[in-house]
Amino acid sequence: MRKIFILLFILGLISCKKEKLEISEKGENVNDPYKDLYGNWVGDFVASVHDTTDDFVYVNKINIVIKKIEKNIVSGRSIVAGSSRPLSGEFKKIANGYEFILREPGNSKYDGEFKFSIENKA
């Protein structure tokens, strides 16, 4: 009985087919439909809410690093004025590209939400 169970288990594993994962020399998934979105995206960061009594810079550069996209879930990092924070959120396809809403964890008083789009320039 034990041999039959082991044989059935092995046959079950063999019959489970997964999509072939093709990896490039850089370790990237070649079949990933979002591979062109991964990496660093730089833009202007303008605080929508700020304390006007403090001497502070309200316009800066922001670097969004998109590390992973699965289904409609995005993870990455934000880097603004030397502060690097994890990001996660959602994205959706729009007519001329993608629209993102990503949030920092919320355990810092400076954490926030970032809404941006990446447009196709074809």
Strands (E), 8-49: 39-46
In a domain, 26, yes or no: no
Task: Assess if residue 3 is contained within a domain.
Answer: no
The verdict on residue 53 lying in a domain is yes
Q: Is residue 12 included in any domain, yes or no? A: no
pLDDT at 71: 87
pLDDT less than 70: residues of the chain: 1-30, 47-52, 54-58, 122
Q: Quick check: is 24 in a domain?
A: no
Q: For residue 1, tell me if it sits in a domain.
A: no
Would you state the pLDDT for residue 100?
Answer: 94
Question: Which pLDDT belongs to residue 54?
Answer: 67
Segments forming the whole domain that contains residue 108: 33-119
Q: What's the number of domains the chain is made of?
A: 1
Closest CA to 102 of 85, 83, 119: 85
Domain-located, residue 98: yes
pTM, full prediction: 0.66
52 in any annotated domain: yes
In order of 10, 15, 17, 33, 62, the CA distances from 98 in angstroms are 43, 37, 31, 13, 18
